[in-house]
Amino acid sequence: MGFLVRKRGFLAPLLLALLLVQRLSAVVSALNYTSYRQVSSMRLERIQRHLDKINKPPVMTIESPDGDIIDCVHKRKQPALDHPLLRNHKIQRDPPERPRVKMLKEDDKTKKSNVEEGVIRGSWQMWHRNGTRCPKGTVPIRRSTAHDVLRSKSLFDFGKKQAPISLARRKDAPDVVSANGHEHAIAYTGSSQEVYGAKATINVWDPSIQVVNEFSLSQIWVLSGSFDGSDLNSIEAGWQVSPELYGDSRPRLFTYWTSDSYQATGCYNLLCSGFVQTNSRVAIGAAISPVSSYTGNQYDISILIWKDPKLGNWWMGFGDNTLVGYWPAELFTHLANHATMVEWGGEVVNSRANGEHTSTQMGSGNFAEDGFGKASYFRNLEIVDSDNSLTAVQSISTLAENTNCYNIKSSYSNEWGTHFYYGGPGSNPLCP
């Protein structure tokens, strides 16, 4: 299913190019997202060399019902260990010490709930719906294709966030990367404390995307470093709809990291070396299913990111107790010690393709005031403190650059702790 022309000595570059063009024409019509530029045989060879580096030889291959190809790769052959800083890295075998849960104070327990009741269920992933799993000792990796690379601006940009042109800095709000049309609706902690992790349960939707190079995501950011320089460290995880990156409009579990403010280091998922995967059942970059529906059942996922107090690696948990893998401490400068800020919320790219604000949706595509079953939410916000304890967040600040396009409203309840609704439709009469 996944298109890959493996380079063979007896295949001439011209034949490779012809094969690529034939396959591309079929997929472009199916996706209806964008048209590809003419591909030279030299560029095709460069793309294939890159794919050969990141698509490791599988022990077993699984075809997902949604069309993804999942390669089960031996854990010691995964892309992470190609990183120059990880050449001598030994994969952490002993599980990290999980954060302890602090009990709520009595006065917090008695606070009145203001969350509407509804049916909430957990989302999982589509690729092992038929019961097929990767064997023990392997990790599932979504196979990248030439199509994936050609949808990006260049081979260098493949799998990376756009480097910001400038970094917004406001005294009354956190520093967020808002260049290149990135817009947010986020909650955040203060920047003066030492933070060792964060957790939240995130409502999953499938927002519509106007043009192929825009995206809509909902995630946790764990941050340290300066926002007005080139040393920002960021660890990120959540769900994302990105036609450019994945070739479809499904929400997908994703991760990201950078140690230099998105300039040269880091990438999405496993598209560069860095993140060490340890789990054989969770494929980063794979589709999440089912998704929430308007006034219907709501589905969500829980994400936990925390620093192992013994070895210092930053681990990611998915669902209730599933360890996905970790970002080695060697990758970072500031985050080698601790984080100074956590952000939770949504982000979209507004490319103003037709000279007007994008109609790319954030969250469910509805504004925060629409509430449960209509607007998207983050619930049970928690942070990990210096003694590796999970503590319910007592107070947060919020930020949305343009509340006529996307907004956010926070609240507190007994069941959901500190939580918020967020999102919006983008383009509308008040958001031209």
Which pLDDT belongs to residue 7?
33
Q: Determine contact, residues 208/360, Cβ cutoff 8 Å.
A: yes
Distance CA 406, CA 213 (A): 19
Distance CA 218, CA 274 (A): 22
Q: Determine contact, residues 126/248, Cβ cutoff 8 Å.
A: no
Backbone angles phi, psi at 163, to 5 degrees: -65, 135
Tokens of 129: 């719906």
Give the gyration radius of the chain's Cα atoms. 21
Distances, alpha carbon 352 to alpha carbons 349, 357, 358, in Å = 9, 5, 5
CA 326: distance to chain centroid? Answer: 14
Q: Determine contact, residues 410/396, Cβ cutoff 8 Å.
A: yes
Which pLDDT belongs to residue 317?
97
Taking only the tens place, the pLDDT of each residue in 414-427 is 999 999 999 999 99
More confident residue, 197 or 12: 197
More confident residue, 196 or 133: 196
Taking only the tens place, the pLDDT of each residue in 230-277 is 899 999 999 999 999 999 999 999 999 999 999 999 999 999 999 999
CATH of domain 178-424: 2.60.120
| Active site members | 236, 347
How many CA atoms lie less than 13 Å away from 217 in the CB half-sphere? 26
- Tell me which of 109-113, 228-232, 238-242, 300-304 is least confident: 109-113
- pLDDT band at 208, cuts 50/70/90? very high
Q: Which residue has the tokens 């999982």?
A: 124
The DSSP element (H or E) to which 307 belongs, if any, is: strand 298-307
- pLDDT band at 112, cuts 50/70/90? very low
